[in-house]
Structure 1
């Protein structure tokens, strides 16, 4: 996955030290209840679209941008689904991050699936009972986004 310019510049100052970052995730559900997923180009895993909030960007606007970039699908954000502080992670190059992830329930409103080879190997809609193998944290976001009532999940 491409690293945003602001993060590349920041890393020149802090090296590999731990950076707290805000991530945004889209759980896009169509009228049939299917979930939009993309197969990540960096590790080959299926995941919900998302990325890093850039300086000055609003989270809901960032998630719309990320979905468009990674899948070609235009979305409308319906509500916040989860707020989760993830465990620190170290990338193979030694960079350390800890994400505060904001996941949004979204619906498609236009566009069409296209594959951006910088970020995605494949893009597809999946029925909830036919999801590919994914990290538990991603499955958890999908479960909460599908919950009726609209109360966001967060750890207490």
Structure 2
């Protein structure tokens, strides 16, 4: 889908200035314990699947929608892995600046065949956890947290 329509509308008046936005990401596992990754069209890098919720859309529903839109895989959310405001804003090639608060969910694949399903991905595939392609810390940390049975991760540092 690319840029959601509501963000395009905001950008008509906000220009490229920094927007603070919600984000969702999904660490999707299949029955063999492999993780679903997509190679992003905007950066050319492999990553977990993610995107921006639509207004009023719950994070779990947004994660399920994004996974299907980008990969044609049906999944169900199992638990929240982490909640994190990303440390640095992202600047896109068109000059738009965003900083995201990401809600990451561990999901289980329940159907569909992994394939490129929209213009946001160059490739899509399942990877064993011990044979992942090169990933940025964003994705690696989320996969690591999804593999634990621990509590939801969040930055417990309180400014004061």
> Within the alignment, does 1:123 sit opposite 2:124 as a pair?
yes
Superimposed CA distance per residue, residues 64-112 of structure 1 (whole angstroms, 9 cap, x where no aligned partner): 0000011000000000001111121222222111000010000001111
Equivalent pair of 1:41/1:117 in contact (CA under 8 Å) = no
State the match for 1:141 in structure 2: 142
1:32-111 equivalences under 5 Å are: 32-86=32-86, 87-111=88-112
Q: Distance in 2 between matches of 1:52 and 1:7?
A: 9
Count of matched residue positions in the alignment of Structure 1 and Structure 2: 155
Q: Distance in 1 between matches of 2:117 and 2:41?
A: 9
TM-score (norm 2): 0.93
Runs of 4+ in 1 over 3 A off after TM superposition: none
Unaligned runs of 5+ in 2: none
SS of 1:54 mapped into structure 2 = coil
TM-score (norm 1): 0.95
SS of 2:98 mapped into structure 1 = strand
Q: Distance in 1 between matches of 2:45 and 2:130?
A: 18
Equivalent pair of 2:78/2:105 in contact (CA under 8 Å) = yes
Unaligned runs of 5+ in 1: none
Q: Distance in 1 between matches of 2:117 and 2:77?
A: 22
SS of 2:125 mapped into structure 1 = strand
State the match for 1:30 in structure 2: 30
| Residue 117 of structure 1: how far off its partner (Å) | 4.4
RMSD: 1.1
